[in-house]
Structure 1
Amino acid sequence: MIKRVFWMSIGITIGVIAVRRVSEAKATLGPAGLNRAVGTAADALHDFTDAFRDAMTQREGELRSALGLDTADTVADTMSSARR
């Protein structure tokens, strides 16, 4: 009798785990899951480009200062064009 209860509980546990994994796979592969994945990737790309532009503007300012090309108008024009 104990063997039957043991194997029944093992079977139920495996069944629950299988149902959860299938549900997760359906949620990931469905339209909502795809939408979340694309949204996350787009947000990451946007954050990366913002950080890249900021670093590029900072480095350009450093180079302009080092070369003696640093004027207020030039830096302001560079920063505004980098944001576009």
Structure 2
Amino acid sequence: MAAGVAIGVLAVRKLSVARQTFGPEGLNRAVGSLADSVANFADAVRDGMQEREADLRAALGVDR
């Protein structure tokens, strides 16, 4: 039981430090930045797929 209490206290302390470090605005910025990064990656993958499809169609002589 003492180990559980100690782990709980440590977890609360770490969360408090993280909350003070990031704050609500910092956390929102971090999540927004992550969302932008994921969207940019998806766009890059989509563009690459379109380029590859165009290359394959040209190589096979298939018209759109």
Interval of TM-score (by shorter of Structure 1 and Structure 2): 0.5 to 0.7
Q: Which has the larger radius of gyration?
A: 1
Which residue number corresponds to residue 40 of structure 1?
A: 34
Q: Deviations over 1:11-47 (max 9, x none)?
A: 6x343332222333x2566111110111111112112
Question: Unpaired segments of 5 or more residues in structure 1?
Answer: 1-6, 70-84
Moved over 6 A (4+): none
Which residue number corresponds to residue 22 of structure 1?
A: 16
Percent identity of paired positions between Structure 1 and Structure 2:
2
What SS class does the counterpart of residue 54 from structure 2 fall into?
helix
Matches of 2:11 and 2:24, distance apart in 1: 20
TM-score (structure 1 length as normaliser): 0.51
Matches of 1:68 and 1:17, distance apart in 2: 60
TM-score (structure 2 length as normaliser): 0.62
RMSD of equivalent CA atoms: 2.9
Task: Decide whether aligned partners of structure 1 residues 22 and 64 sit closer, same or farther in structure 2, where only a CA change above 3 A counts.
Answer: same
What SS class does the counterpart of residue 37 from structure 1 fall into?
helix
